[in-house]
Structure 1
Amino acid sequence: MKKIISLAVFALALSIGSVQAQGMGQMDPAQMLEMMKQRVKPQLIEKTKLTDAQADKVLEIQLWSQGEMRGMRDMSEEERATKMKTVNDEKTKKFKAIPLTDDQIKAVNDFYEEMRRNRPQRGGGGSK
């Protein structure tokens, strides 16, 4: 269950980041990956202690999982949970193929969870 929630958080964080980075409109996957490499990669490396090459692959996998999660709003809760589990399981396999250790995978998941918690809230009158 924790993995499913983490996956949903990652997809949300990435989609919010793309909207904020570009404003209105849609980025193509290559633009999104380049933006992530510029903005997210330095923090990812610093906090998770991954190598440059590992971080690149993690970002590619995150972008892939975000794409897989599109359209889930129209699914039932059960269908959404099944899809999230499938995508999360595949993402974990891809992380292991980099290869990342279980501790590194946990560090990556924790990094994206922290990003989600610290992102600016939208729509409210919040202050910085």
Structure 2
Amino acid sequence: MQGFGFDKLAETPCHHLCADFRCGIHDGLIERGFPGCVAFDCLGAGQRLTALAVERFGSADWRERPDVARWLFVAYPRMRQVQEWLARLNLAAAVTRQPPLQALAAELDAEASAAWSAADQAAWQARVEAALAPLAQNPASTARN
């Protein structure tokens, strides 16, 4: 419950979630004891999955469609991780201005899928880690001036 005004079960909507999926207390989150909501960033995973749900099911309304809810709740943790890896790769590409990193970020972004298996995701992660490894070893030598 740290950073949130109350405890709730996973996969259950917050009681402040409005019918239009907006937060009913967004303007006063910190004052009401929800700094965790302000700090959390899904890095676009929610928006990406919403678009994919509309493509796949014709709807993203997980409150009315149990099939959509199941799909979203299973896919979200994987997509959140994918978005985190993309954010790291895009940051490295921006800082170093290395065209190969920029190209890889664009390529992997286009490949990202909610339907990945664990093996697909592991292979994708390995590509990101391999691309970033030289920066961790010697960041100064990889930056372009």
TM-score by length of 1: 0.33
Relative contact order, higher structure (CA 8 A, sep 6+): 1
Query: Highest Rg: 1 or 2?
Result: 2
TM-score by length of 2: 0.30
Higher share in helix: 1
